[in-house]
Amino acid sequence: MQELVSENGWDDQIYCADEEVRPLLEIASVRFAGKPLDAVLKKVGICSCRALVAGEGSVIFDSGSGGRRVLAHAETMVFVATTQQVMPDLHAAMRQVVRNRSGSSLFVWTGLSRFLDIDEGLMPGLGPKAIYLLLIDNC
């Protein structure tokens, strides 16, 4: 993680409100901010996932991770997941998420936002412009 931060110049640009991810950042000596206002000010957001959907390339996360706030403001999004969270399709992923339900609102995110402008040119939309996935092998 420290290497990723250094390579991309993210020092003092990371927001993380996720209680599951914060210890990982601390172990890696990565500085981050966690107050709600920091989500607007920082360029990089980091949060955990509830599941990954291999068939669609989707990420399922919940409001408890702070991910929704981060998606709205961050230029770069970093999702943290384990290999056990990778599911073949949305149906299997939702079964896993329901089994481990936390009571928070769920969000399914499937890629960078884009839209057609008036000249029918493809333009970047709202939300992050770059996505990273840190996949932890916990088998």
Half-sphere exposure (Cβ direction) of 58: Cα atoms closer than 13 Å: 20
* Residue range of the domain that includes 88: 2-112+125-136
Q: Could you tell me if residue 118 is inside a domain?
A: no
Residue 107 is assigned to a structural domain of this protein: yes
Instruction: Report if residue 117 sits inside a domain.
Output: no
CA distance 106 to 88: 18
Contact 105, 62 (CB under 8 A): yes
- Domains in the chain: how many in total? 1
Please give the chain's pLDDT, 139 residues, in tens: 889 999 999 999 999 989 999 999 999 999 999 888 887 888 999 999 999 999 999 999 887 777 667 777 888 999 999 999 999 999 999 999 988 777 678 888 887 766 666 777 776 667 788 899 999 998 6
Q: For the domain that residue 13 is a member of, what is the CATH number? A: 3.40.50.10420
**CB-based burial, 81-90: b 16+ in 10 Å, e otherwise:** beeebbbeeb
